[in-house]
Structure 1
Amino acid sequence: MRLAALFLAGTALLPWSAAAQTAPAAATAKQVHAPADYARFAPKTAYDMLVQLPGFTIREASQERGLGQASENVLINGERIANKTGGAISELQRIAFDNVDRIEIVDASSLGIAGLAGQVANIILKSARKAGGQFEWRPDFRAHYSRPNLFRGSLSYSGKTGGIDYTLSLEDQAGRGAIGGPELFYGPDGKLIERREEVFHQESDTVTAKLRLAFDGPGTAKGNLTLGYSPYWNPVYDFEQRFRADGNNGTRLRLQKLDGWMYDINADYEFAFGPGRLKVIGLRHFDHEPLVSTQVDSFASGAPDQGTRFSRNSHVTETIARGEYRWKMGRNDLQVSLERAVNGLDQRGSLATLDPRGAFVPVPFPGGSGIVREVRYEGMTTLSRPLGSGFNLQFAAGGETSTLERVDGDLAPRRFFRPKGSLTLGWQPDKNWDLSLKLRRRVGQISFYDFLAQPNLKSERQNSGNPDLVPPQSWEVEMEVGRSLGAAGKTRLRSYYYAVEDIIDIVPIGADGEGVGNLPHATRFGMESTSTIQFAPLGLPGAKLDARLGFEIARVRDPLTGEMRPISGAQDRWAELNFRHDIPKSDFAWGASASLYHYAKYVYLTEVNQENEGPWFVNAFLEHKDVFGLTLRAQVGNIFSARHYFDRAVYAGRRNASPLVFRQRNDQLIGPIFTFTVRGSF
């Protein structure tokens, strides 16, 4: 009954009169990129070709509620890859470049796929594909603090047997982070009260084994099954030597252990049904996440050690059943989708302090354990149609109902109904210009961890759980304009404005607590340009510059002062510049990149802090594209010594009515990073 009500709510809003036949419209222009045009980059996979498309920004699938509408602007054979294990981008990294027939860049509103806007890359694969595999090994080494990252890479093989296409893959998504140097603490009068020398390093490895099966038939039916299993490890080491003005020197050691595993099952099956096609999708995600974080302070005076241990044994689950029915009515593409999703978190948290004998003794930890669950139903109806003269329209309407509750608590379940939908217009007046405009009503995502207490040991800050948290909702307007520069390249400009209700930020909880919660209203305005400049017309063939520049102004009213301020932790400016020169008539390429990412302050009730690295990271590389059939690349990262910066002001109580206790300033070394890459096919 809920699904039927949502379906009727969506279909009642659709302009069914648009189904009437009208005069034929001009065909929407599309850009076609042939594999031969990208041979100079020596690509090994379909993804290698995709990342070289001029003026195209890859948008990975956002972690929306359930599967919902499409957000990834990449398709394979005109179809959305509807899963949460990497989507089309992940699949393309396992498809051999030789199996790509072409890439088409088309306007999203012409595709009949709900949720997309702007330009979309549609990768068309050859009908007869060769069996084969790809591999990549990409170790990196930091000059300071961190352990070598030796195992990052991937291996995959695709083939066909008994009418079933299969892909086997193994990947280690390994990462390393490390900083070191001084942390300076100043009193309210500006005098230095403490200096700490820190060494921090973090090693993460997520090994994913995946099997993907695809089959056709009977008839025009087709289906896919993807099975994935991922153990992961994420240890943290953080050691500080502490030198205080009062002579109470000592050390602090923080160790964190996270050894977990997760599995994913995704399946879909599509077949002809009545005048259209029905697609059913199932998804199951399970994540076992046991975390132990221990912090111990030792004193040169011989005083007993002080310490805290936070343990969290969590199980995160998501189960989705979705159906999509699509058919044509005249020149209209119509789709009805129904979805049921169940998300859950079961956390068993504990807190302990170190006693004088050196043993950790449990202490009360209210709000640290619990079960959070949300059951959600969504119904959407989407209409897509050409309007003539290069115009395309897409209109989607519907809504969701959800029940959100602390299963083991004494609060009554909360039930919500939220309307959702979008209106997208695309226009291509000629082959050199394209424009799109999108108006959307969206419901955002929340983290169930924020419903429960999550202390921050390093900052000595207690983040209370918030059982009243709700997902944010927003009215969003986005506009994109693209311009081809012919042989000189391509440029695009995207601008957006979001009016957000129930924005997620830091809020008061109880008489003196704080944690993640909702503030009534916020706004976000931003612009981003994406350009590719080809240097051949300037006399440097084989060279190009890819540039992405953007900024965002995000504003929310502070819950303590009532003044407008940035949304906590919002990225407010960014830049990526990538220069590459493939030397003509040779197998060599070289290049350099520069990147900047800047974030606004985190505004808590008892402190304000801001963390950034940079300001600019600059890298340089040299590549040989044929060493016994392999591509070899050497890169030196952070050659101009970008650093880690952290500024923090801590107050005795709530910052609007309490005195300052201290200020913290970190200016720490990151150092150069050396990366070697070996890539090939077999």
Structure 2
Amino acid sequence: MAVGRRSVCALAGAAVLGLNLVISSAALAQASVALTVDANVTNYPATFFTEFRPVTALDMIGRIPGFQFDGGTSGRGFAGTVGNILIDGERPPVRSDSLQSILSRIPAAQVVRIDIVRAGAGGIDMQGKAVVANVIRRPDGGVSGSVSASVTDNTQGRLQPNLNLQARRQWDGRSLEASLSAYQGSGDNHGIRERRSPTGALLLLARSQGVFDFHGVSGTTVYEGPFGGGRIRLNGLVDVNGSGYEGDDILIVPFGRETSLSESTQTKGEIGLRWTRSLPLGATLEVLGSQQLIDNDSIGSYDTPDFTSATVSDGWRGESIGSGSLKFASLETPWGSIDFEAGSEIAFNFVESGTAYLFDGSPLLLPGDDTRVEELRSESFVSGVWTPRENLSVTGALRYERSRITTTGSGGGAETDLSFLKPRLNVAWTPAPGHQMAFKLERNVDQLSFGAFQASAAFSTGIFGRGNPDIRPAQIWLTQARYERVFGRQGSFVAELTHEAYDDVLGQVVVFETPPGYSTPRQYNVTRNVGTATRETAKFTGRLPLDSYGMRGGIASATLQLRQSETRDPVTLLERRLSGEQPVTLSLGLSQNLVSQGINWSVSASTARPGRSFGPSTLSRFSIDPTFNAGLSWRPDDRLSLGGGVTVSGGSNNEFVLFGAPRDRGVPVYSETSRSNGTISAYGSVRRSF
């Protein structure tokens, strides 16, 4: 393991040295044109983006040097899901409406400027982020909208159309917007499966082919305006989508056929609100609320010459969140300014699932096939920002979380009370214009893994899982150091070093139980809290303008991520990396903006992505081949945008080993390899604004 760490450090050092040499030479010839408001806020006015002819705010975000878009995560409550984008200084209150979608609905013509805010800026709640982008819109932009459509074709001859409609009206400090999108598509895949015994004897050889399809319709609406002496934002979202798959494996050895069918639909609805109001003495009150409901239905079957099986599942889940916070006016002291904020959040989550299994026409009962899980959680916090100097800030926060998890169903019942103290420390320092250093230390709690409460069945391998009513969410201590260098109009270099220490990591082990109606014990996989883990990540991103190298408007970009993780395997008790971890990822890109022609073109490539997964009775290796992309966009005027491109998706290789018992004492039964071919797809798009 020490050798692996030295390799990561060596690669990281080489990457930093090489990129810094390039940046240093380029920085001598170019100076930043962004307007610096103070040491913690850099202002990019609309005129900064004019030469790039952006269509939406999302296009503008992609042109800001050094900024890395973060769309947020599916974490706990509002505080656990925030990304690094603000709209007029505030975060949208709807969790399902992605930041990417929200930005794509804001026309570039209605953006006054974008502020890049670093930790320590007064009046901005960073939520633990080192950098956020604050999109400032025009208060009264009249009526605007767009119609866009795209179609994708691939080597399987499957067309995938997409249609999107957007409309917006702004008047007297109010705005009303709505969007509707619809998509559908299909495709097929081909591959080869080969299964061999531990001695190398051929057990199975099959030619695999499958056809999949997907479709969806989504609608959103947003209202903003004055209310109750403050401002209110109301969001609504409805999304309906579905997918299906038909797989057919022609067995050459032995002779026969295997078929698989699956079909699923999901209906989602969500409403959210945010209300803010100024209070006396410079304080600000913010109230957030959200209600989300999701219905999932699925059916599936898997038939072989040896058996038949079927699965019918019905799931229903929801989340209710309410929160309030109070921001106080800055306090000026001889030692610098201090900002305070305090607040509290309460959330209720539930997941209800029922699954029926059939094996050779007879019902198969599994512990956890009918389950309801409820989580009632509250979190209170207090935070403060101390700015002793204009270029130095220290942010401290203390959050306290309490939750009660209640489980009922065929897997058993349990009630668990949990509490976590979650401190956070951020330090930001700007030693010189264009240079920023940040340090972060915080404790987080993962989202509760609701799937661990439910049963599972893999008929192809004979592995069945039982639900566990008594699990805890994993906790993470995160330490991160970040360095950012911005130069020229588009040049940047960002280095991030992150250490994560996990407690109560979830992992799968084997248990033996006698199910109802049976006289002998059966082997089940079960998810439990199994111990600790660590992960080190080094991530480097760079963008180098090529104007001084003879390519006007050109930008070369690169992203390198190195990961090293370690945990104790809950089955073998040996040290290994985390399951599914990809140690090295690298992507390269080249683009050019031709201002006079209104054309922008780009090419990019990503390296192969290998990884390993570990199950109680299985070992898997997988690798995704390199992927290549090429795109071209043309804006003949301010209202029309045309685009197109080609994507060459790499194939995948998978190796799967099944053991006859848990890996610590079992021997391999067989190993199976499969190969899926890559695809070449081309797309065309058109967008008309009004």
TM-score by structure 1 length? 0.89
Aligned to 1:284: 291
Aligned to 2:130: 118
Over residues 287-327 of structure 1, what are the superposed CA-to-partner deviations in whole Å (9 max), with x where a residue is unaligned? Answer: 00011111122x4xxxxx73111111000111111111111
Match of 2:49 among 38, 61, 65: 38
Deviation at 1:350, TM superposition (A): 0.6
Aligned to 1:9: none
Contact 1:310 1:349 in 2 (8 A): yes
Contact 2:110 2:137 in 1 (8 A): yes
Which region of structure 1 is more displaced relative to structure 2, 252-261 or 122-131?
122-131
Aligned to 1:500: 502
What is the DSSP-based 3-state SS (H/G/I as helix, E as strand, rest coil) of the residue aligned with 2:548?
helix
Q: Rate the CA distance shift 1:483–1:627 in 2: closer, same or farther, 3 A.
A: closer
Over residues 411-442 of structure 1, what are the superposed CA-to-partner deviations in whole Å (9 max), with x where a residue is unaligned? Answer: 34110111112100011111120011000011
Q: Rate the CA distance shift 1:605–1:479 in 2: closer, same or farther, 3 A.
A: same
Aligned to 1:293: 300
CA–CA distance in 1 between the matches of 2:327 and 2:350?
31
Aligned to 1:341: 347
Match of 1:74 among 70, 73, 85: 85
CA–CA distance in 2 between the matches of 1:38 and 1:57?
17
Q: CA RMSD, aligned part only? A: 2.2
Matched residues, percent identical?
Answer: 21
Residues 1:253 and 2:262 aligned together: no
Residues 1:156 and 2:158 aligned together: no
Residues 1:664 and 2:657 aligned together: no
Over residues 162-209 of structure 1, what are the superposed CA-to-partner deviations in whole Å (9 max), with x where a residue is unaligned? Answer: 763111011236676653111111110123221111113433333211
Aligned to 1:109: 120
Which region of structure 1 is more displaced relative to structure 2, 394-403 or 85-94?
85-94
Contact 2:381 2:400 in 1 (8 A): yes
Q: Rate the CA distance shift 1:147–1:437 in 2: closer, same or farther, 3 A.
A: same
Aligned to 1:143: 155
| Equivalence map 1:311-322=2 (5 Å) | 311-322=312-323
Aligned to 1:541: 552
Aligned to 1:302: none
Residues 1:170 and 2:180 aligned together: yes
| Equivalence map 1:208-287=2 (5 Å) | 208-219=218-229, 221-244=230-253, 248-275=254-281, 276-287=283-294
| Equivalence map 1:507-522=2 (5 Å) | 507-510=509-512, 512-522=523-533
Aligned to 2:365: 364
Deviation at 1:264, TM superposition (A): 0.5
Deviation at 1:237, TM superposition (A): 2.1
Q: Rate the CA distance shift 1:201–1:525 in 2: closer, same or farther, 3 A.
A: farther
Over residues 122-165 of structure 1, what are the superposed CA-to-partner deviations in whole Å (9 max), with x where a residue is unaligned? Answer: 11112332321123323212212x74212x24221110367631
Residues 1:648 and 2:656 aligned together: yes
Tell me the number of residue pairs that the alignment of Structure 1 and Structure 2 aligns: 637
CA–CA distance in 2 between the matches of 1:110 and 1:139?
43
* Letter of the structure 2 residue corresponding to residue 579 of structure 1: L
Unmatched 5+ stretches in structure 2: 1-36, 332-336, 514-522
Aligned to 2:27: none
Residues 1:555 and 2:542 aligned together: no
What is the DSSP-based 3-state SS (H/G/I as helix, E as strand, rest coil) of the residue aligned with 2:583?
strand
CA–CA distance in 1 between the matches of 2:463 and 2:650?
29
Aligned to 2:328: 327
Deviation at 1:530, TM superposition (A): 1.6
Q: Rate the CA distance shift 1:201–1:573 in 2: closer, same or farther, 3 A.
A: farther
Aligned to 1:5: none
* Letter of the structure 2 residue corresponding to residue 286 of structure 1: L
What is the DSSP-based 3-state SS (H/G/I as helix, E as strand, rest coil) of the residue aligned with 2:457?
coil
Q: Rate the CA distance shift 1:457–1:162 in 2: closer, same or farther, 3 A.
A: farther
Unmatched 5+ stretches in structure 1: 1-25, 300-304, 355-359
CA–CA distance in 2 between the matches of 1:232 and 1:367?
26
Aligned to 1:92: 103
* Letter of the structure 1 residue corresponding to residue 543 of structure 2: T
Contact 2:93 2:235 in 1 (8 A): no
CA–CA distance in 2 between the matches of 1:552 and 1:503?
18
Contact 1:114 1:396 in 2 (8 A): no
Aligned to 1:395: 396
* Letter of the structure 2 residue corresponding to residue 594 of structure 1: A
Aligned to 2:192: 182
CA–CA distance in 2 between the matches of 1:387 and 1:174?
55
Q: Rate the CA distance shift 1:333–1:174 in 2: closer, same or farther, 3 A.
A: farther
Q: Rate the CA distance shift 1:60–1:427 in 2: closer, same or farther, 3 A.
A: same
What is the DSSP-based 3-state SS (H/G/I as helix, E as strand, rest coil) of the residue aligned with 1:672?
strand
Deviation at 1:385, TM superposition (A): 2.4
